[in-house]
Structure 1
Amino acid sequence: MNQHAKAISFVLNGSKTEMLVQTHENLVELLGRLDLYGARESCGQGLCGCCTVIVDDVAVSGCLYPAAFVDGKTITTIEHLDHDVQLSPVQQAFIEEGAFQCGFCTSGFILMTHKLLEQKPMPTDEEIRDYLAGNLCRCAAYPEIINAVKSAATKMART
């Protein structure tokens, strides 16, 4: 084994996974090696939210999160939100409300919206803006994103 590599095991989207990671590798790079590209590195500084991944039920910036730190943890990516090929209410609301343009930031917004609605099932506009403040949309689809969050909240309240 390379002296700069470490063997780790973790649960990824419900499946036990074992990998050899480089000590300098971040979580986005590790996910890319597993053909999961929903979390994207954009700013490389944890400021834009494009690289959002859920680790042990906490949203993290995958561009700053060392891959070796997921050893023994549970990871959820955007690719795992649909169940039995059915979109989650949040994913469906983002589509219905047109809450994206280029789509580069969308997976981060969707994951953060899931976390928000777990904590606040019916958030106000101010609570939505505050919670999603760490996610940036360069296309400025913010009004549609706010509408999508409110729509998703309503959908989830019905179920």
Structure 2
Amino acid sequence: MPDDDQTSMAHAMAPPHVPALPLTLRINGSDHQLMVEPRVSLLDALRERLHLTGTKKGCDRGQCGACTVLVDGQRINSCLTLAVMHDGREITTVEGIGQEGAPHPVQTAFMDHDGFQCGYCTPGQICSTVALLRELAEGQASSVTQGERPVAFSEDEIRERMSGNLCRCGAYQNIVAAIRTAVGA
């Protein structure tokens, strides 16, 4: 194929330029003004634009939970949502869970029970656990609960509620122990 044909084919296959949009992300209690293309994921905005690298990019397909953050208190996979969808909403990353010198009880429980090995999944596990504690306090049902009120707290309940967060090292036993302690705290 001649070079001119290859060039025109490459131009035809290139995605069109999409103008950046103004956006205010309220992250860990602070507003951040950004200009982002509409197709930028929340994960990429956090890591690449705001340099909040605690939230990890694992599978980038919503299957591992390493990118879990809280939006208005609800846990989400930040790789599966667009940053522009969260304009003005309250986003909490692992950096906003505790404070330096004063870790959140979930963070303390993870440290006390060695609820991590390599640590790559830990930020997502911690954010998900914070949401789990809120869900339990509100009496939200899970598939294990089967309509019981109040929600009975058990290891099966923990495992079900944390099933979206994978640990490739297999530290699940310690993670469950950490969560049991955090529920008591």
Q: TM-score, normalised by structure 2?
A: 0.79
Question: Offset at 1:42?
Answer: 1.1
Give 1:65-76 correspondences, 5 Å limit.
Answer: 65-76=81-92
Is 1:38 aligned with 2:54? yes
Is 1:12 aligned with 2:27? yes
Is the Cα–Cα contact under 8 Å of residues 18 and 38 in structure 2 kept in the other structure? no
Is the Cα–Cα contact under 8 Å of residues 25 and 32 in structure 2 kept in the other structure? yes
Is the Cα–Cα contact under 8 Å of residues 117 and 123 in structure 1 kept in the other structure? no
SS of the equivalent of 1:152 reads helix
Bigger radius of gyration, 1 or 2? 2
Give 1:82-97 correspondences, 5 Å limit.
Answer: 82-83=98-99, 85-97=101-113
- Give the % identical residues: 38
Is 1:52 aligned with 2:71? no
SS of the equivalent of 2:84 reads helix
Structure 2 unmatched runs, 5+: 1-16, 138-151
Structure 1 unmatched runs, 5+: none
For 2:175, give the aligned amino acid: I
CA RMSD across the alignment: 1.5
In structure 2, the residue matched to 1:136 is 166
Question: Offset at 1:3?
Answer: 4.3
For 2:27, give the aligned amino acid: L
Moved over 2 A (4+): none
What is the CA deviation profile of residues 14-57 of structure 1, one whole-angstrom value per residue up to 9, with x for unaligned ones? 01221111222111111112110111111111011000011121
SS of the equivalent of 1:63 reads helix
Question: Offset at 1:83?
Answer: 3.2
1:104–1:123 Cα change, 3 Å = same
SS of the equivalent of 1:120 reads helix
For 2:127, give the aligned amino acid: L
Give 1:113-124 correspondences, 5 Å limit.
Answer: 113-121=129-137, 123-124=153-154
Is the Cα–Cα contact under 8 Å of residues 11 and 74 in structure 1 kept in the other structure? yes
Task: Give me the whole-angstrom Cα distance separating, in 2, the residues matched to 1:70 and 1:118.
Answer: 21
For 2:170, give the aligned amino acid: A
For 1:148, give the aligned amino acid: A
Number of residues paired by the alignment? Answer: 154
For 1:127, give the aligned amino acid: E
Task: Give me the whole-angstrom Cα distance separating, in 1, the residues matched to 2:99 and 2:56.
Answer: 22
SS of the equivalent of 1:91 reads helix
Task: Give me the whole-angstrom Cα distance separating, in 1, the residues matched to 2:71 and 2:131.
Answer: 12
